[in-house]
Structure 1
Amino acid sequence: MAINSAATSVSVSSSKIIPLSMTALLGLFMVGFVGFSHLDVVHNAAHDTRHSLAFPCH
């Protein structure tokens, strides 16, 4: 029996909405803080982390 993936819906229960939204907000804050920070320490830490994960950054 084949399952149509387009007809399958993913439902998020109400108990997961708050943790998911808080996690998204924390992630956006962290990316925004590091991305727009004028502190060299923050920039260098993010830069070194990207290189250690083999993620191209420049």
Structure 2
Amino acid sequence: MSSIHSVTPTFDEQVPFAAIKERIVQAMCAASLGAVLLFGAGFASMETLHNAAHDSRHSAGFPCH
């Protein structure tokens, strides 16, 4: 007879502070990049945004004309 042992995770282990700090730094970098993109697009001229979107569509292989 074979027995199957289930592995249950234990939540007793402490998460190292370095791992938490690393996640916070990554989240802050992602939020900063998002803010730069959002405000950059918000203050850019429409012609600049159109040209950027136009070039992106062509480079991805989507026709836009």
Per the normalisation by structure 1, the TM-score is 0.47
Q: Which protein has greater RCO, CA pairs closer than 8 Å, 6+ apart?
A: 1
Question: Which protein has the larger Cα radius of gyration, Structure 1 or Structure 2?
Answer: 2
**TM-score under structure 2 normalisation?**
0.42
